[in-house]
Amino acid sequence: METAVVKAGAGEGGLIDLILGSMKRNSKQYTMFLALLAIWVIFSFVTDRVFLTPRNLSNLFVQTVTTAILAIGMVLVIVAGHIDLSVGSVLGFAGAVCALCMIKLEWGVIASVTATLVIGVAVGAWHGFWIAYRKVPAFIVTLASMLAFRGLIIGVTGGQTQGLEMASEATAGWFKAIGQGYLPTLIPATDGQVHDTSLYFTIAMIAVFIVASLRRRAARVKYGFPVVPFFAEVLRLAFVSALMGGFAMIMVIYLGIPWAVIFVLALTVIFDFVARDTTFGRHLYAIGGNPDAARLSGINVPRHVFGLFMIMGLMTAIAGIVSTSRLNAATTSAGQNAELDAIASAVIGGTSLMGGEGTIFGAVIGALVMASLDNGMSLMNLDITFQYVIKGLILLLAVWVDMAQRKK
């Protein structure tokens, strides 16, 4: 079998043509990275470099976690041609249930977290039933849940903040580590600032990334799919590895890598695999691209949609657990506008609201963009009125860019 390789081309313009071609094919990703870089540079300048300090960047990554988890699930929902407006309210409800299991029922962390995850999946199954089998539009079903669960939050909490300091000390300590803990050190220095495990973890992640990328390339070559020239692949691997190394150095200078960030990385890898390399994931893209064609090709559309919303419910419950742990309390306002941030993150990350297009990795970067805006504007002490206006305009711009690119 002849190996299909995308070659640079002969002559002087070969490399330039390759770079321009890559930029054209991945214009959304390049635009997203450039936007993130511009945001960081601007905020660094206007905050007198406070924005780029290790402490603030570490806090920024932790602040990104909840939105990123929701965005991972939201990508799959939007790709399949649906929407979920309930994630903010369900997040708050899941967090409240988890907290009350530890406070009122005096359950341990494992039992409380398990119960919360089961509730999240059950909520997703409820949505999936109405959407997949009763053909009620996802917009209406999840809008109803957004209102209902916002009321249930008030009901289960009694309208009061439920602080985890009311739980047993051991339970509260373990649960707090989920959203506020960091990788421990194996060889602590006298000043406590050498976070060796974070370095080991990053080295392992870089190695896994390189091996997985090369295996994917080898598989594409084996089956005759086009691949970029090997030197271009090496440049890509080196660039991403350098970014991962830079991330590790920032974390090491402060307190190390937070557990919450590790959870997001794990979920990103898992669901990127699900979306790209499983039959279920590929079918979701087919359903979003053309539901009728997907149905005629033999795909069980209702079953896939039902399973999809169960996954979204699970991701929302996870986000609720992490959010409650980070705040060390369940509040009646938890999750407000979280659905908007999740949708905006997915769209900014390259997901098309028309369905059939989007990536997990892009959504996570989109969540980082949204968190960077919140963090930077807070450091500037910008009035909340302008913060909402700016975020709204950025979302509008992202959708406009998506529509313009689709027309081309």
Architecture of domain 53-181+258-407: Orthogonal Bundle (1.10)
Q: What is the pLDDT of residues 365-378, one digit of tens each?
A: 999 999 999 999 99
Q: Residue 222's pLDDT band (boundaries 50, 70, 90)?
A: confident
Q: Which of 272, 278, 285, 281 is nearest to 80 (CA)?
A: 285
Q: What is the pLDDT of residues 148-199, one digit of tens each?
A: 999 999 999 988 988 888 777 767 788 998 999 888 877 665 455 567 788 8
Any idea which residue has 């602040």 for tokens?
A: 63
- How much is the pTM? 0.90
**In 196-300, alpha helices (H):** 196-222, 230-253, 259-277, 279-289, 291-296
> Highest mean pLDDT: which of 31-40, 44-53, 295-304, 398-407?
295-304
The residues of the chain that CATH labels 1.10.3470 are: 53-181+258-407
Q: What is the pLDDT of residues 338-375, one digit of tens each?
A: 999 999 999 999 898 888 999 999 999 999 999 999 99
| Arithmetic mean of pLDDT over the chain | 87
DSSP E strands, 46-167: 162-163
Residue 365's CB is within 10 A of a number of other CB atoms, namely 21
- 78 pLDDT more than 80: yes
Q: How many CA atoms lie within 13 A of 14 on its CB side?
A: 10
| DSSP at 383 | -
